[in-house]
Each structure stands twice: as C-alpha cells, then as structure tokens.
A and B are shown apart, each in its own frame.
Chain A
C-alpha cells in the first residue's frame, strides 16, 4: 500500500526527470548540503548558548532572535530539496535504515525544540542573561546538538548505502 504510493511518487514526471537527468540530482544535492550546513550551524549557535559555552555575554533571546530566522529559512530549503531527492527514488529511500533513522531523529529534534518553547524556555526571561544557564536549558541544548550531529551522519550514510556517487 505505502510502497505503491511511493512508487507513484517516483513515477511522477518531476521525480523521473531528477532520477534520469545527469545533473539535476547533483544540483539539488548541492542546495540540500548548503541548506543543511546553515540549519546545523545556526542551530549550534543557539545550542552552544543554551549550554553556556559560547555567546556567554549575550542573552539567550538575542541569540535566538539573531539566528533562528536563518535556521527556519534554511530548513524549508533543506526540506524541499530533500523531498525532491527522496521523490526521485522514493521506494529505495523509504526502505533504507539510515533514511528511517534520520527521519526519526528529525522528529526527536522537533520535539526537543517544542519542549524548549513550551516548557524549558517559558521562564527564559528569568535566566537568559546569565552566562551559566540552568540545567534544563543545558539538557535541551546538548540534546539538540547531539541530535543534529546524528542527523548529519545519517544523511551521509544514506549516500553510502544507496547506490550513488559519494
């Protein structure tokens, strides 16, 4: 059932064009890599602030206001370009263990961020000026950093386990 849906996705003309063209896939991959470096790099700036490792002289809110617009913009681009690469070989990707792990980790990273916005960060105004952040903020920051590193690793391993130039 799911496989037939995925099959019809990769049979669409745009997916076929990406799969069969010589240079469409590499260009989309370039955009994906650029976007993910900006997602991970900018989120790391926030994570390192939450951990109290960098930007210690700035408030947490100043830090998030500075970088999160870049994170979200880059994330949308990464999602779109990743979606196009997925579509080009949907059945194979969906069955790839590293792809499945990457998607699960992305969900966890999303939940972690939601947890920050809904719970941990709610009283941020009372601690956001302090260089040394509360334990709960360090947990969220550390988890985010670890999750995004694992997401990047899974992404690279997808390329090595699916028949593609590495």
Chain B
C-alpha cells in the first residue's frame, strides 16, 4: 500500500504508548470487551428505534417518544466506540489502517450516523414529522429499512477486520 501510510503505521507501532499496550497482555481484550459492550448498547438502541420507524414495533408510542428513549444511547455510545477503537488502532496500526475492511467499516459508520441524523433532525422542529402523512410514513419506513442493514454490515465488518489483515 502507500509507502507513507506504511511508515506512519511503523512509527505509531514503535511509539511508547503503542509499545506499552502491546506489552500488557490484558489491555487489548479488555478494550475490545468495552468496545463490544458499547456496540451492544448502540445496536440495540438503533434496532428499537428503526423498528418503530419501520412501523413494526412499539406502535402504541410516537416516533419521537421512542427516539427520546433510545437515540441518546447512540450518541453517548459513539464517542466510547471512537476512543476504544482508537486505542486498538494505536496498539496495532497496520491491522486497521492498512485493511480494506476497516476503511469499509468507517465509510459505513459515516453513512449510518448520517441516516440517524436524517431521522432525528426533522423531529426537533416537528415532533410528529414522521407520522404526518402516508408519504412521510413511507419515507420513515425507507430510512429504517436502509439504516438497519448498514448497522449490521458495520458489525460484520468489525469482525472481518481480524481476518483480512494484510500485515
């Protein structure tokens, strides 16, 4: 791959912080466990909200009520995922940064976070936005149906990073 990225990974891997993480056996599994628990919080919240958006669960409640209950968990979870993910990259830079699956995962995260924003922003001005008309409800269903498989693909890509390492 890119020689500059190669040398960046080498230098990061040789840094004191990376060396400290690599030489302490329990750090990587512990950080991975925290990472996966945060994934659990985010995925479950997204599932609950998307199923409401699609209109298959929690139908007795408004979209905005379900969003208020679950979407904050997503926004709290993402920074935890970012920090734990960054620690894992510092520990083994080439494993992620020179891995096409990692790039795919990051792209999918931007897409999924974007879709979640798209579902949330209209609710700020109009609490009934997604229920206002049949076409809005159809649009909500479309957003939910797009969002769910992207989040699933993010989880799958996360596990495949371990198997597609080129270094």
A interface residues with partner B (beta carbon < 8 Å): 23, 26, 29-30, 33-34, 36-42, 44-45, 54-55, 58, 66-67, 70, 149, 152-153, 156-157, 159-160, 165-166
* A54 CA / B48 CA spacing, docked (Å): 15
Assess the B47–A33 pair: CB atoms within 8 A.
Answer: no
B107 within 8 A of A: no
B162 within 8 A of A: yes
CB-based nearest B residue for A63: B69
B120 within 8 A of A: no
* A26 CA / B29 CA spacing, docked (Å): 18
* A108 CA / B35 CA spacing, docked (Å): 24
B36 contact from A29, A54, A55, A156, Cβ within 8 A = A156
Report B-chain residues with C-beta under 8 Å of the C-beta of A45.
44, 48
Main SS of the interface on chain B?
helix
Assess the B39–A37 pair: CB atoms within 8 A.
Answer: yes
Assess the A33–B159 pair: CB atoms within 8 A.
Answer: yes
Please give the distance in Å from B25's CB to the nearest CB on chain A: 8
Binds A, one of B3-11, B126-134, B138-146, B150-158: B150-158
CB-based nearest A residue for B36: A152
Report B-chain residues with C-beta under 8 Å of the C-beta of A54.
69
Please give the distance in Å from B89's CB to the nearest CB on chain A: 14
Going nearest first, the 10 A-B pairs with the smallest beta carbon separation are: A41-B44, A41-B40, A37-B40, A40-B40, A165-B162, A30-B156, A153-B33, A37-B43, A26-B163, A30-B159
Assess the A55–B69 pair: CB atoms within 8 A.
Answer: yes
Question: How many A-B contacts at CB < 8 Å in the complex?
Answer: 84
Please give the distance in Å from A107's CB to the nearest CB on chain B: 20
Assess the A26–B41 pair: CB atoms within 8 A.
Answer: no
Report A-chain residues with C-beta under 8 Å of the C-beta of B57.
66
CB-based nearest B residue for A34: B155
B137 within 8 A of A: no
Please give the distance in Å from B99's CB to the nearest CB on chain A: 12
Report B-chain residues with C-beta under 8 Å of the C-beta of A34.
43, 152, 155-156
A37 contact from B29, B155, B160, B165, Cβ within 8 A = B155
Report A-chain residues with C-beta under 8 Å of the C-beta of B13.
none
* A66 CA / B69 CA spacing, docked (Å): 12
Report A-chain residues with C-beta under 8 Å of the C-beta of B152.
34
Assess the B40–A70 pair: CB atoms within 8 A.
Answer: no
Interface string of B90-121 (1 = CB under 8 A from A): 00000000000000000000000000000000
